[in-house]
Amino acid sequence: MDFDYSEFQSILLSSTKNFLEKEAKGLFREIENTEEGYSPQLWEKIAELGWLGVLFPAEYGGIDGSFVDMVLLIEEMGKALFPGPFVPTMISGLAILKYGQASQKEEILPRMIEGKLILSPCLAEPDHALNESIIEEKVSTRNGDYILSGTRLFAPYAHVSDRLIYSADTVQGKAIFLVDTKSPGVSCNPLDSIGGDKACEVNFNAVEVPESSVLGETGKGEDIIAQMNEWGALAESAYIVGMLEQVLKMSLEHAKEREQFGKKIGSFQAIQHQCANMAMDIDQAKSLTHEAAWKLSENLPSTKEISMAKAWASDAARRVCLMGVKIHGGTGVSEEHDMQLYFRKAKASELAHGDGDRHREIVARQLGL
């Protein structure tokens, strides 16, 4: 693995940092309580910068980048707590790129890369035993079209999305459908989120979609879902790494400034060891994430590496943020301080696309257990 950044990656990092320092300062606080949960104006700007096309071929308007490029970009977004539907749009677009028909790619990908379409995966099925109000799961056909009914939970930014990726069981097995959010029978109910992200309950009530809306091969939906979760886990790992680097930076600054018993608290061995442990946790998460991204970029088997990265990053998110709060004391949980923002967002990212336990199970299977 080459640890040196390419010229393109160096330019990407520099431009991303400059943009986020200028545009994203205080953005999370500003956006968190809005209905949209993101800035449409900044969405247009990141499209102009090429962020939405980093992983996509030039034939669709992309820049032919790699997963390493994506990880570097998302790490900077994590440092700045940049909010919005970037990750769900990316993994949905990648699913269309890998599994979609030519017509689906030509219709959706160029507009997505231009910032004119937002995509959201609707894959989390609810437990019907716990909620009787949930729409009964049903798939039928009529005149060659599919009729979809069901409920999906925690669909990220579905309320502002233009297309949804919906999974459903058919007689041939699990199938994936591309559904226009303007289709009759589709409704979104925003859910409260600890991390400030906008997740939705999406109801499909006899939604009629053409056969051409099927993504990939009917009956192979589980494979598509697994692949999307791998991409999502890698992206969340990168976002966590960026957040934790900022948490460590804030903690070090506080330790160098805060005085107790006539000394800077950073001079105390306990604080020094805590900061050292934070740094080691972050570096391990970053190394695993970059290795996984490199393997994925090189088309090498990467399932184990992605799950190793997400398992470590998820656990590190909890450990590092808790330590950051402890170093800051009561200030770390006050609404006025940014530490609590990172603490909350890290908890959401810890769980997104599988927590540490879930990914340790995947690693164990990859080891033959």
Q: How does residue 33 score in pLDDT terms, banded at 50, 70 and 90?
A: confident
- pLDDT given for residue 131 in this prediction: 55
Which pair of tokens denotes residue 84? 């919005």
* 149 and 284 share one domain: no
| Structural domains counted in the chain | 3
Give the tens place of pLDDT for each residue, 65-87.
999 999 999 999 999 999 999 99
Q: What is the model's pLDDT at position 365?
A: 98
Here the CATH number for the domain that contains residue 180 is 2.40.110.10
Q: Does residue 137 sit in the same domain as residue 186?
A: yes
Over range 337-362, report the average pLDDT.
96
Structure tokens at 218: 């009917």
Task: Return d(Cα 367, Cα 369) in angstroms, integer.
Answer: 6
Two tokens, residue 350 = 């810890």
pLDDT tens across 95-139, in order?
999 999 999 999 999 999 999 999 999 998 886 444 555 666 888
- Do 24 and 141 share a domain, yes or no? no
Provide the pLDDT for residue 2: 63
pLDDT of residue 130: 46
Q: DSSP state, 124? A: B
Does position 333 have pLDDT exceeding 80, yes or no? Answer: yes
Distance CA 169, CA 174 (A): 4
* Burial tier of 330 (Cβ tally within 10 Å: 0-12, 13-18, 19+): exposed
Per the domain annotation, does 2 fall within a domain? no
Enclosing domain of residue 24 = 7-117
DSSP conformation class of 171: T
Claim to verify: residue 226 and residue 357 sit in the same structural domain: yes
Q: What is the mean pLDDT of residues 240-268?
A: 95
On whether both 149 and 174 belong to a single domain, the answer is yes
**Is the same domain home to 213 and 229?**
no
In 3D, which of 215, 362, 221, 351 has the Cα closest to residue 292? 362
Last residue of a domain, which of 220, 247, 271?
220
* Same-domain pairing of 210 and 296: no
Question: What are 176's two structure tokens?
Answer: 């994936």
Residues 216 and 298 in one domain: no
CATH number for position 289 = 1.20.140.10
Q: Do 360 and 246 belong together in one domain?
A: yes
For residue 273, is it within any domain?
yes
pLDDT at 192: 87
Amino acid identity at 212: S
Q: Give pLDDT tens digits for 256-286.
A: 999 889 899 999 999 999 999 999 999 999 9
